[in-house]
Structure 1
Amino acid sequence: MKKIMLVGRTGSGKTTLTQALRGEKIQYHKTQYVNHYDVIIDTPGEYAENRTLARALVLYGYEADVVGLLLNATEKYSLYSPNFVAAATREVIGIVTQIDVKGARTDLAENWLKLAGCKTIFYVNSITGEGVPDILNHLREPGDILPWEEKGLNFAENRS
Structure 2
Amino acid sequence: MKKMILVGRSECGKTTLRQALKGKEIRYEKTQYVNHYDVVIDTPGEYAETKVLARALALYSYEADIVALLINATEPYSLYPPCVTPVANRPCIGIVTQIDAQDANVEQAVSWLELAGCETVFRVSSYTGEGIWEVLEYLKEDGDVLPWDKKVDAEKPRDVISTKVN
Deviations 1:57-78 (A, max 9, x none): 0010000000100000000000
Structure 1 residue 128, shift from structure 2 partner: 1.1
> Take 2:11 and 2:151, find their aligned partners in 1: how far apart are those partners?
33
Which residue pairs with 1:133 in the alignment? 133
Which residue pairs with 2:43 in the alignment? 43
Structure 2 length as normaliser, TM-score? 0.90
Gaps of 5+ in 1: none
The AA in structure 2 aligned to 1:11 is E
Which residue pairs with 1:21 in the alignment? 21
Secondary structure at the aligned position of 1:5 is classed as strand
Structure 1 residue 36, shift from structure 2 partner: 0.4
Answer with 25-34 or 143-152: which moved more.
143-152
The AA in structure 2 aligned to 1:109 is A
CA RMSD of aligned residues (A): 1.4
The answer to whether structure 1 residue 103 and structure 2 residue 98 are counterparts is: no
Structure 1 residue 147, shift from structure 2 partner: 3.8
Gaps of 5+ in 2: 160-166
Which residue pairs with 1:90 in the alignment? 90
The answer to whether structure 1 residue 76 and structure 2 residue 76 are counterparts is: yes
Identical-residue share of aligned pairs (%) = 61
The answer to whether structure 1 residue 4 and structure 2 residue 4 are counterparts is: yes
The AA in structure 2 aligned to 1:35 is N
Structure 1 residue 148, shift from structure 2 partner: 4.9
> Take 1:85 and 1:48, find their aligned partners in 2: how far apart are those partners?
13
Secondary structure at the aligned position of 2:92 is classed as strand
Secondary structure at the aligned position of 2:53 is classed as helix
Structure 1 residue 151, shift from structure 2 partner: 5.7
- Length, aligned pairs only: 155
Which residue pairs with 2:116 in the alignment? 116
> Take 2:13 and 2:151, find their aligned partners in 1: how far apart are those partners?
28
The answer to whether structure 1 residue 66 and structure 2 residue 70 are counterparts is: no
Structure 1 residue 4, shift from structure 2 partner: 0.3
Misfit runs of 4+, over 6 Å: none
Larger Rg: 2
